[in-house]
Structure 1
Amino acid sequence: MLELPIPAGLPTLAVNTDPVVLVSWWKALLILPPLVAWLWIVSTVFDKFCARFFLPREKWNLVHLLVGLLALGVAVSFPVQAPWGFFVGWAIMVAVLTGHVFLFMAIANKDERVPAEKRMKVDFSALRSKDHKPKQAAKASELVIRNMDKQALPIPEKETPEFALRVAAEGLYLKALEGRASQIDVGSAGKDQTYAAAFLVDGVRVPGPTMPAGDAFKLIDFWKAAARLDVNDRRRRLTGDVTVERGADKKKVRVTALGTQGGMRLTLLLDPEGQVRFKPTDLGLLDAQQAELTKLVQEGHGVVLTAAPADGGRTSTFYTLLKLHDAYTQNVQSVELDVQDVPEGVRQNRWDPQAEGPEFGTLVRSIIRRDPDVLGVAELPDQQTAKEICKAEPERTRVYASLRAGSALEAIEAWVRTVGAPAEAARVLHGAVAQKLVRKLCQNCRIPYQPAPDLLKRLGLPPEKVKQLFKKGGQVLIKNKPETCPACQGTGYIGQTACFEVYPLGQAERDLIAKQDWAGLKSELRKKQLPSMSQAALKKAVDGTTSVEEVSRISAPAEAPPRPAAQPAAPAGKPA
């Protein structure tokens, strides 16, 4: 080999052949486990969740990528050279990844396309020690049922009649949860000594399983015993509460049992407080209606009628109106048959029809004599109650009188009939609020379509402005195959919203009411240019909240005019 001499004084290039370690191997072992776990959650759980409920996958995948790069960058390049600097960066990486997991769950669960029972939850119950396994009998029991003293009902031994009854009772409850039911009814099917269950889903009754009368009685007695009701009393209306737990999910259930001419009847109302607890902005009021309702509340005197059909959301609006008043600076009270919620600061007076004491109207009179600032009367069971309300000083007390009616005009007519004296009934009236519920279209599977011109003409919608409406679907394409929508389970609807009409009543309207000039009153209300119930429903159909079929359903005239004064009070625990 030829070796060339290097002149003295010239710079030389020295090459260090020793290996250089850029990242310690033990640091990689610490970084990889949380990063891999996070990647697994994002790719297998979150991505599938977005695909199932049609959440924006591309947007979320980009967010996941940016968060992962940020967390990894912090771990490997934390700007502290000290040995403990790496551990600080590693801890920040774990905190970022963990926080991102919980933040995604919180945001995704709030999306209206995700049903409440399908929301993501963190359940550590599966991590319980194997040394604390329950008995063999408990393995087939999925629920923990507690009475109001928080004592859990013991689970019977397997292969006993009591255990089979427990499994049947739990099965009925679980079927209701899977079907998004808000209420379970068990009653006589009307033939062959057969009983049947029914589920209330989005305001529509869905048939459930049938059973022999003997099995139904045992099922009813099971829930009565769980709520500590008298199982031997098969005549009176009995109401009690239990708490049902399934993993991390916990629900209060109101148990109501009563005897009817057809036999025993059981009603299980799931989460009674949650069903009637709404913010004013969540009721479904249009902007103009919200403004008028705010004015009515601020006016603070006279009688305001609140009306809806049975199971029409009347109780929710009743409680919401009471909560709009400041219960700490005003004396706010209510008279109720069935207390479903406990508004903060409101003094609630419950009237028990089976207990000895004053009549409903007498109780209302005694409270009015105490000069409350606001009084809510949840029912109008008789003429005495209506007359006592009329005796309240209209300039000093605001009274919300709740009754069953299909529109504001029907509510006013029913109020006048109940009082019996048109002039007296008209004198105290300052407003009427009526509503009906419509089902909300499932945002996952609703189908857009171009409405025909004759349909728009029949609905009174301008063809030049309404180019698209929506109808229920029930199916979605998963891998190019039609399958039942996982969000609505094929019904095409999820949840309900209310369509309102809100009318303040001035002296001109009161004069027409005193004359019972209903045609004139209807014309006067139209002059206010406030949305009617049908117009509010059409607005929700145009913006895709509901369908034309639902609008037609609530706009159809009732078969017979309602007479609230002759109606008994709503069943205990049942939303009015």
Structure 2
Amino acid sequence: MIFGFGRKPVDNDDDDDDDEEEIEYVLFQGATNGVEPDMKGNAKLVQAGLIRTKELVTNAMSRRAEMIRLEPKGQVSVATMYVDGVPFPGAKMPVQAGLAITQMLKLLSGLDIKDRTKPQSGAVKAQLEDTKYEVRVDTAPVATGGERLIVRIQDVKQKFETPDELGWGEAIREKIRALASQKKGIILAVGPPMSGVSCAAFGVLRSIDAYLFNIYSLSKNGKDIAHVAEFQPEPGDSLTQTIGRAIRAEGDVLFLAPCRDADFAKMMVEDSEDACLLSEMTAKDCADAIARFTQMSGDPILCAERLHGLISQKLVRLLCPKCKQAYRPNPKLLQKVGLPPETKVLYRAPKPPEEDDEEFEDYEPCEKCGGVGYFGRTGLVEFIEITPGMKEIIENGADPQKIRDQAKKEKMQSWASDGLRLVAAHKTSLEELQRVFKPV
């Protein structure tokens, strides 16, 4: 079902004719969970919230926003839009209008609009002009009353699951393949919330040659992964029993659900002797993940033996290919940041003219990026391999700073080194790296 009001006429006072400009509104095309929304039974909500919801989501899509955050603050609800990870202020509206939008999106996503006391997650299919989207909806109650709404907008054709789509270099893929070829041990994709951890986990999975290894997915992620069979558990079986059956079925690599607690970590360490286990977990970076996973496993010696590699990515914006500006870098700058001295040219985003500049009146922002100077994002990759030196640190307490120092000593790939690779390749700028690495 498509929920209408696709176009809105807009008066044009400057036109003497009766022609009207039409704004194309997003069309919502049904919840992904198959629940049919009761539009007639919620007619008052539809009247109060549907057009507002369409305006907010359409505006976000038009601005290339990948996320909307709508939160009640006193008597108003404040919207923030995130474009390539950078927040921009959105609309402010009466708190009741924000509530109507939240409830409307819950209804369209097949969620329970009567329950405002617990977090809920869902999604609705949508289309704007010729582009199809999946709009993911997450709500959570806030202490001051009402609900916080997070809307994530994903162009269904733009998936970030393969190493190529994630921008990973060949060296990282070779390391992953080498570790998986051992058919034992643990590989973790890690990172903070909103950093693309699940995408990184799928990137690890897609780096492994499914023609050479038997790969089973034990994670109910709802994704159809080519050449990866979904291994069904037997009724009443524990995860350990399911892993054992998958190994007996000649599984070489097993893709698991995220590691969120000590019991899961202990199970991974104990059951990774005869198959390579892939999972993800929340952590600040790879060193923090090693420390936390070691603590959760409760066995530093066995953890050092079974943990083989960790990958983490940090998203950075890509320079707009249409308006990026070349400049000749100062040799001292090259030496300071660690770029080769023979580097002749780098690129950066153009700066729009100030109001008192002569060019200000004639300035027109770039049609592709809207004058931001960046278009899209890619991942900076950190990879830590558990070498003999790393094993010794893990066995002696897994201090995160010692792990970082050892990784630097062994010249393992870091976010910074990968960022400089992208700068040298003219894909991003030094200014963008400075923004990303700036302490919060």
Matches within 5 A, 1:151-230: 162-163=46-47, 165-189=49-73, 192-230=74-112
Deviation of the 1:534 alpha carbon = 0.8
Of the three residues 220, 234, 242, the one matched with 1:367 is 242
1:528–1:453 distance in 2 versus 1, CA, 3 Å: same
SS at match of 1:541: helix
Deviation string 1:201-254 (CA, Å, 9 cap, x unpaired) is 111222211111211111111111112221111012222222222343322222
Structure 2 distance, partners of 1:341, 1:370, is 22
What residue is the counterpart of 2:283 in the other structure?
Answer: 405
Structure 1 distance, partners of 2:435, 2:345, is 20
Deviation string 1:133-182 (CA, Å, 9 cap, x unpaired) is xxxxxx887343222459799799xxx98445322111001111111011
What residue is the counterpart of 2:190 in the other structure?
Answer: 307
CA contact (8 A) 1:474 1:485 kept: no
Say if 2:175 is the partner of 1:296.
no
Say if 2:257 is the partner of 1:382.
no
What residue is the counterpart of 1:542 in the other structure?
Answer: 424
SS at match of 1:147: strand
TM-score, structure 1 as length reference = 0.62
Structure 2 distance, partners of 1:249, 1:513, is 48
1:278–1:532 distance in 2 versus 1, CA, 3 Å: same
SS at match of 1:299: coil
Structure 2 distance, partners of 1:180, 1:348, is 37
SS at match of 1:484: coil
Deviation of the 1:551 alpha carbon = 1.8
Aligned-partner residue type, residue 205 of structure 2: L
CA contact (8 A) 1:145 1:152 kept: no
Say if 2:160 is the partner of 1:283.
no
CA contact (8 A) 2:37 2:110 kept: no
User: Gaps spanning 5+ residues in structure 1: where?
Assistant: 1-124, 127-138, 351-356, 560-576
Mean CA deviation greater in 272-281 or 482-491: 272-281
Structure 2 distance, partners of 1:151, 1:246, is 21
Aligned-partner residue type, residue 256 of structure 1: D
Q: Percent identity?
A: 24
What is the aligned length? Answer: 403
Deviation of the 1:400 alpha carbon = 1.8
Aligned-partner residue type, residue 372 of structure 2: T
Deviation of the 1:275 alpha carbon = 5.9
CA contact (8 A) 2:317 2:428 kept: yes
1:298–1:330 distance in 2 versus 1, CA, 3 Å: same
Structure 2 distance, partners of 1:248, 1:348, is 37
1:276–1:216 distance in 2 versus 1, CA, 3 Å: same
Deviation string 1:300-325 (CA, Å, 9 cap, x unpaired) is 32011212222112111112223435
Structure 1 distance, partners of 2:88, 2:66, is 11
Structure 1 distance, partners of 2:38, 2:60, is 20
Aligned-partner residue type, residue 370 of structure 1: R
What residue is the counterpart of 1:335 in the other structure?
Answer: 219
Deviation string 1:328-387 (CA, Å, 9 cap, x unpaired) is 972512436xx474424442889xxxxxx99xxx96445334344333344332212211
Matches within 5 A, 1:236-255: 236-255=118-137
SS at match of 1:271: strand
Structure 2 distance, partners of 1:245, 1:523, is 48
Structure 1 distance, partners of 2:85, 2:59, is 17
Structure with more of its chain in helix, by fraction:
1
Matches within 5 A, 1:477-488: 481-488=362-369
Matches within 5 A, 1:71-220: 142-148=25-31, 149=34, 162-163=46-47, 165-189=49-73, 192-220=74-102
Deviation of the 1:428 alpha carbon = 0.7
- Of structures 1 and 2, the larger Rg is shown by 1
1:548–1:368 distance in 2 versus 1, CA, 3 Å: same
What residue is the counterpart of 1:65 in the other structure?
Answer: none
Structure 2 distance, partners of 1:152, 1:327, is 43
What residue is the counterpart of 1:420 in the other structure?
Answer: 298
Aligned-partner residue type, residue 326 of structure 1: A
Of the three residues 126, 151, 154, the one matched with 1:271 is 154
Structure 1 distance, partners of 2:57, 2:396, is 52
Deviation of the 1:429 alpha carbon = 0.9
1:152–1:140 distance in 2 versus 1, CA, 3 Å: farther
Mean CA deviation greater in 512-521 or 381-390: 512-521
SS at match of 2:296: helix
Deviation string 1:465-510 (CA, Å, 9 cap, x unpaired) is 122222212659x9x9431111111211111111112333244532
Aligned-partner residue type, residue 346 of structure 2: L
1:161–1:218 distance in 2 versus 1, CA, 3 Å: closer
Say if 2:388 is the partner of 1:504.
no
CA contact (8 A) 2:45 2:104 kept: no
Deviation string 1:30-58 (CA, Å, 9 cap, x unpaired) is xxxxxxxxxxxxxxxxxxxxxxxxxxxxx
CA contact (8 A) 1:202 1:439 kept: yes
Aligned-partner residue type, residue 429 of structure 1: L
Structure 1 distance, partners of 2:232, 2:374, is 37
Deviation of the 1:430 alpha carbon = 1.2
What residue is the counterpart of 2:307 in the other structure?
Answer: 429
What residue is the counterpart of 2:343 in the other structure?
Answer: 466
1:272–1:406 distance in 2 versus 1, CA, 3 Å: farther
CA contact (8 A) 2:254 2:275 kept: yes
Matches within 5 A, 1:514-533: 514-516=395-397, 521-522=403-404, 525-526=407-408, 528-533=410-415
What residue is the counterpart of 1:322 in the other structure?
Answer: 205
Deviation string 1:51-100 (CA, Å, 9 cap, x unpaired) is xxxxxxxxxxxxxxxxxxxxxxxxxxxxxxxxxxxxxxxxxxxxxxxxxx
User: Gaps spanning 5+ residues in structure 2: where?
Assistant: 1-5, 8-21, 354-358
Structure 1 distance, partners of 2:92, 2:404, is 47
What residue is the counterpart of 1:493 in the other structure?
Answer: 374
TM-align CA RMSD = 3.6
What residue is the counterpart of 1:64 in the other structure?
Answer: none
Deviation of the 1:528 alpha carbon = 4.7
1:235–1:370 distance in 2 versus 1, CA, 3 Å: farther
Deviation of the 1:196 alpha carbon = 1.2
1:150–1:415 distance in 2 versus 1, CA, 3 Å: closer
Structure 1 distance, partners of 2:322, 2:179, is 38
Deviation string 1:426-466 (CA, Å, 9 cap, x unpaired) is 12111121221111111111122222333223212233x12
